[in-house]
Chains A and B, each alone.
Chain A
Amino acid sequence: MPQPTNATNEQRLHLAGAALLFGMAVLLAGLAYVQVVTSLEHEAEQKNQSRRTVRLPAVRGAILDVQGRPLAHDRPSYVIHTYLSELRHHFRKAWRDAPHDTRTEAGVRHRVIGDFIAQLQLDQPFILTERQLQKHFIEQLALPIPVMRDLSQTNVAWFMENAWRVPGMDVEAQPHRHYPSESVAHLVGRLRRPQSIPDEDHPYNYRLPDFTGAMGLERTFDETLRGSAGTKSLLVNNLGYRQREKIVVAPTPGNIVVLTLDLEIQEAAYKALEETGRKGAAAVVMNVQTGDIIALASLPVFDPNLFIPGIPSKLWNEYREARPSPLLFRATQERYPPGSIFKIISGLAALEAGSNPTNFVYNPGYAEVGRRRIDDTAPPGHYDFHEGFKHSSNTYFITRAIETGVESIITLGNQFFLREKTGLLARQEAKPQFPTLAEVQDRSNWQDGDTANLAIGQGPIAVTPLQMTVMTAAVANGGKVFSPRVVDRIMPVDPSRTHEAQQFPPAKVRGTLKVKSENLAHLQRAMLADVADDDGTGKRARIEGFAVCGKTGTAEVRNREGRHKITWFASYGPFEKPKYAVVVMVERGASGGLSCAPAAKKIYEALIARDNPNRIAGNR
């Protein structure tokens, strides 16, 4: 064999070998590029196709009354979830067995789930419709589908025992907003499904049902009650079925809002209003020393529970169209003429203007102002301040108002902030109406007749029951006009974070009445007599051992619906050491003394019972 050729062959072999190894090096370089250089891109692609993020709403914080009783809270609601991934074989099998001409995918799946539910023999209906199922398949395949909600305890127990019979089903507790008492519906408010998600721009694949406050404190404190949502990450397979899940960020539960309100008194007030037999009414109870609201009741009420998970449109329309409207918070949201309870102010204004309380005014049964006669329900006779107040004599107060001038009423009314909201509620407070000094001094517009009307709480004046409570409380406590408060504090749920609790300051004193104390004492004594004396108009509010002071009122209203009366009872007690102000307003009542005073009495009784638990039995 010639040597040179062999040498060439040796060379060729080495070249070939080098080519092969070079090829392997190329592979290695390619792998390095894919697995190291561009690895993150591929990882992102993989996440994108196999991960689904789910927004987990936090448990909403509770709203509690002053005693810690829940007014609104999330309680567990038991839901049967079906994991579709685990039913796939059954779907496939049923699909094969189904008659080919009539079968639809949704129909077959629905029947499979329905059959399994039937095997569980629960005594609740299977509510899922084919359309809902199909929607879930298209939009949220990776999530389990709820097939039965609000399971009763019996059914939960039954399910636990029998769940092994059926594949892919599980019972889960979901937070469900609950409002134990309808009586606080207006104050606590209600929830609704959010139209847009305000809180984050995180691109979630799925969102679990979430609610936001639509009214009342639920709305005002929505942010703090809602907490912050968490994130769950699902791993899905190539068909989109769930394989595994992991909580990436746990939701932080919302804070608890504690009120100054006492549910016991609230319910008593609500019941007292109901027992008036009238359809529209309101009652406010306030601590006259602290300005804390103890009850804020309004009739008629709505049921906030019906808004979860969503109110049927028929029911919503009923609520909207019903008269009197159940959605209106009569304690703060509607303005009424105060009628005779305004004599508290016009009377005090007359005394302040120097009118002698012991001087008499003759009442012929009516008051004559210009050419107009105003009826007086008080029997004819001579009246001084005390008697005029007790009998609610229009003639007395009209005469005194015209004598001393309307300006004194306006000046005093301003000290009660009658033209401004109390600031208790963010969106549920109506702005009251009260003439300004400039208006009454414009003699071309303001006549004696107007002064006469204003003196008895008619004419250009409209107030809310809450405002009258603040007024009555100021009379009771010696002149402190409060900005009332109803929220005491905000607390985290987590007991280890109580230091983060936010305590609201005590109710602010908005202003102090610039009145002589003996005049105030005159007024207080007159209010006591109105209840305590047998001929007082407020005698039906009298309670043995608890000196209630009050003033009744009945205002005429003429509007499109015809003529009717707004009846009032503004009161506080006990006389010696005032503690509570109670104002009751009843629409279309008979009179303040007949419709409102008895309701106020029931509220005082509840307050007394609360403060002296031992006396309950003896008192009723």
Chain B
Amino acid sequence: MKFIKQLIPWHRLDRMLLLCLAGLMAFGVLFVYSATYNNETYTGAHWLRMPHYKQIIFYGLGIGAAFVLCLRDYQQTARWANVFYWLSLIMLAAVLIPGIGSVRFGARRWFDLGVTQFQPSELAKVAVVLALAQFLSRPLKELKEPKVLLKALALAGVPFVLIFLEPDLGSALTLLPPALVMLYVAGAPRSFLRKLVGGCVIFVSLVLAYVFFMPKDWQPIQFPDYQKRRLMVYFNVDYASQYAGVGASQAEIRQARALQRQDSYNVVQAMISVGSGGLTGKGWKQGIQNAHGYLPRGVAHNDFIFSVIAEESGFAGSTLVILLYGGIIVAGIRTASQCRDRLGRLIAIGVVTLLFSHVFVNIGMNIRMVPVTGLPLPLLSSGGSSVVCSLMALGLLQNVRLYQRTI
């Protein structure tokens, strides 16, 4: 007993964080079940293959990993940040090699581990946050030097490019907010940040202009077509104008429209799910969109889990989900502001920003605020890598709380 008592300073556990986590995990199991209980793929499957059981197992694994991360002071853990970082870079590079990384939905993002799949970009996100926190926690003076700042940018930039190459633009882009916020909180000069944000805005606008307005034959780099189409769906661009030229025949226009309907199908159905949930929802397992196949079964329990939650538990349920995530963010900000050293502070703010950008993009795409990207909703979406890595990141946050030197 004494041994267990001494493992970690139990009394300093962040209760609010744990409470919110428990709430989210309960939501996760319930609605992953609801999203898959009548999915033909799983009827008669071994219980270990059932997504909700898998979810529980991954919660267990994630909590275990988080606990291990909490055994040592974050100052000590951070010493391993570089190792951790390089390891994930190697994996990111390896997953790009055919034969090692496996292809699903046209992208090479996964290691096939037999029982489950592992997505190294999830791990890389945590590694980047940790490495960046470690790097930026150097004396403030040094942060004024362009060389250091560029190094910091490279630290986030290399994994960004590797993930981008998979291709997984969505995941790559989620690295940007934590990197920016950490640079900002760490004390990078205002002028540098201004340039950085300005650069990002220009870059994004250029990409959009390139995708939409540059004639296809002139484009030196061909974007994957689906990226472009997702953007077109998001901006509600008429496919006929892009795919069928000026003198296009009726058949070509019809074909373009059909493609548009097909591409916007997920978003349209997600909107219908969320919207038809109304104030209180249709009740657990009573959702029509998922149960009757309108929400594609392949994504209902992972990327579009929020649609299921929102349809079945309504605005009340989605508010609760937002509050639970908000609770974690508040807990993270509180930890960060109470922490006296910059490493802990940066870890805390980095972790919650990473969490935030996932939540924002994922829920945003369900209500058409954000273009569709294959990004999981942390802790709720079924998917091992995401759940375990999210819990590890939150473990780091808890670690800061446990071992911080308060005033």
**Hey, which bits of chain A sit against chain B, CB under 8 A?**
1-2, 5, 8-10, 12-14, 16-17, 19-21, 23-24, 26-28, 30-36, 38-39, 41-43, 45-46, 49-50, 235-239, 243
Given contacts A23-B360, A32-B315, A35-B314, contact A12 B185 (CB under 8 A): yes
Indicate whether B157 reaches chain A with its CB closer than 8 angstroms: no
Q: A17-B336, A35-B277, A39-B278 in contact; A27/B187 too (CB < 8 A)?
A: no
Chain B residues numbered 329-353 whose CB sits less than 8 Å from any CB in chain A: 329-330, 333, 336-337, 342, 345, 349, 352-353
With a CB–CB cut-off of 8 A, which chain B residues contact A2? 140
A20/B329 in contact, CB under 8 A: yes
Q: Is the CB of A13 within 8 A of B349?
A: yes
The reply to whether B274 and A27 contact each other, CB–CB distance below 8 Å, is: no
B340 to chain A: closest residue by CB: A6
Cβ-defined contact, A27 with B272, below 8 A: no
A83 CB to closest chain B CB (Å) equals 15
Q: 12 pairs across A/B with beta carbons < 8 Å?
A: A5-B140, A13-B333, A14-B333, A16-B333, A24-B325, A27-B369, A31-B322, A31-B367, A34-B275, A35-B318, A50-B294, A238-B292
- Out of B315, B337, B352, name the residue touching A14 (CB < 8 Å): B337
- Not counting A21-B330, A31-B310, a sample of 8 additional A-B residue pairs whose C-beta atoms are within 8 angstroms of each other reads A1-B140, A8-B187, A20-B352, A27-B322, A31-B274, A39-B278, A235-B288, A243-B292
Closest Cβ–Cβ distance, residue B102 to chain A (whole Å): 26
| A32 CB contacts on chain B under 8 angstroms | 315
Contact (A5, B187) CB under 8 Å given A24-B329, A46-B272: yes
Contact B337 A50 (CB under 8 A): no
**In chain A, what residue has the closest Cβ to B317?**
A35
22-78 of chain B: CB within 8 A of chain A: none
Please state if B360 and A42 are interface contacts (CB–CB under 8 Å). Answer: no
Contact indicator B293/A239 (Cβ below 8 Å): yes
Q: Tell me, rounded to whole Å, the shortest Cβ–Cβ distance linking B347 to chain A.
A: 13
**Cβ-based interface call for B181 (8 A):** yes
Q: Roughly how many angstroms separate A355 CA and B312 CA in the complex, as a whole number?
A: 98
Per-residue interface assignment for chain B, residues 310 to 329, with 1 indicating a CB less than 8 Å from any chain A CB and 0 otherwise: 10001100110010011001
How far is A238 from B336 in the complex, measured between Cα atoms in Å? 48
Whether the Cβ atoms of A237 and B293 lie closer than 8 Å is yes
B363 at the interface (CB under 8 A from A): yes
Identify A20's interface contact among B310, B356, B369, CB under 8 A.
B356
Q: How far is the CA of A417 from the CA of B321 in the complex (A)?
A: 87
> Contact mask B261-281 → A, CB, 8 Å, 1/0?
000000000011011111100
Q: Which 7 A-B pairs have the closest CB atoms?
A: A42-B275, A17-B333, A237-B292, A238-B293, A35-B315, A46-B276, A39-B278
The answer to whether B292 and A50 touch across the interface, beta carbons within 8 angstroms, is yes
Q: Are B318 and A16 neighbours in the complex by a CB distance under 8 Å?
A: no
How many A-B pairs fall under 8 Å by CB? 132
* Chain A residue nearest in CB terms to B296: A238
Docked-complex contact A17 and B349, CB < 8 angstroms? yes
Closest Cβ of chain A to B362, distance in Å, is 10
Docked-complex contact A28 and B275, CB < 8 angstroms: no
B386 within 8 A of A: no
Please tell me if the beta carbons of B288 and A16 are within 8 angstroms of each other in the complex: no
Contact partner, B322, options A1, A24, A235, A238, Cβ 8 Å: A24
Query: Distance (Å) between the CB of A161 and the closest chain B CB?
Result: 29
Closest B-chain residue to A1, C-beta based? Answer: B140
Q: Which residues of A contact B310 (CB under 8 A)?
A: 31, 35
**With A5-B140, A30-B369 in contact, is A16–B353 under 8 Å at CB?**
yes
Interface flag for B364 (CB, 8 Å): yes
Shortest CB distance B403–A (Å): 19
**Contact indicator B184/A24 (Cβ below 8 Å):** no
Evaluate contact between A21 and B329: CB separation under 8 angstroms: yes
Most A CB atoms within 10 A — which of B288, B325, B364? B288
Question: Looking across the interface, which residue of chain A has its beta carbon closest to that of B188?
Answer: A12
Mask of B102-116 contacts with A, CB within 8 angstroms, 1/0: 000000000000000
Contact: A16 with B276, CB < 8 Å?
no
Contacts of A9 in B (CB 8 A): 185-187, 342
CA distance A33 to B184 in the complex (A): 32
The complex places the Cα of A209 from the Cα of B329 at a distance, in Å, of 61
Q: Please tell me if the beta carbons of A24 and B326 are within 8 angstroms of each other in the complex.
A: yes
Closest to B319 in A: A28
Q: Which residues of B contact A50 (CB under 8 A)?
A: 288, 292, 294
The CA-CA distance from A65 to B184 in the complex, in Å, is: 95
**A42 with B274: CB separation less than 8 A:** yes
Give the residue among B291, B315, B319, B345 with the most A Cβ atoms within 10 A.
B315
Given known pairs A12-B187, A16-B181, A24-B325, the reply for A38 and B275 (CB within 8 Å) is: yes
Question: What is the bound-complex CA distance between A27 and B278, given in angstroms?
Answer: 16
> Could you tell me the distance in whole angstroms from the C-beta of A471 to the nearest C-beta in chain B?
70
* Interchain nearest-CB distance for A472 vs B (Å): 70
> Is there an interface contact between B275 and A41, defined as CB atoms closer than 8 Å?
yes
CA distance A49 to B363 in the complex (A): 23
Which interface residue of A13, A30, A238, A239 has the most chain B CB atoms within 10 A? A13
Set of chain A residues within 8 Å of B277, measured between Cβ atoms = 35, 39
Would you call B359 an interface residue if the criterion is a C-beta within 8 Å of the partner chain's C-beta atoms? yes
Judging by beta carbons under 8 Å apart, are A43 and B276 in contact?
Answer: yes
CA distance A238 to B140 in the complex (A): 58
Contact B278–A35 (Cβ < 8 Å): yes
Closest residue of A by beta carbon distance from B322: A28
Of all chain A residues, which has the CB nearest B369? Answer: A30
Residue B289 at the chain A interface, CB threshold 8 Å: yes
Rounded to whole Å, the gap between the CB of A244 and the closest CB of chain B is: 9
Per-residue 0/1 for B169-182: is the Cβ within 8 Å of any A Cβ (1 yes, 0 no)? Answer: 00000000000010
B residues within 8 A CB of A19? 181
Query: With A10-B337, A46-B288 as given contacts, are A31 and B294 in contact (CB-CB < 8 Å)?
Result: no
Q: Are B276 and A42 in contact (CB under 8 A)?
A: yes
What residues of chain B lie closer than 8 Å to A23, measured between beta carbons?
356, 360
Determine which of A13, A235, A243 lies in contact with B336 in the assembled complex, contact meaning CB atoms within 8 Å.
A13
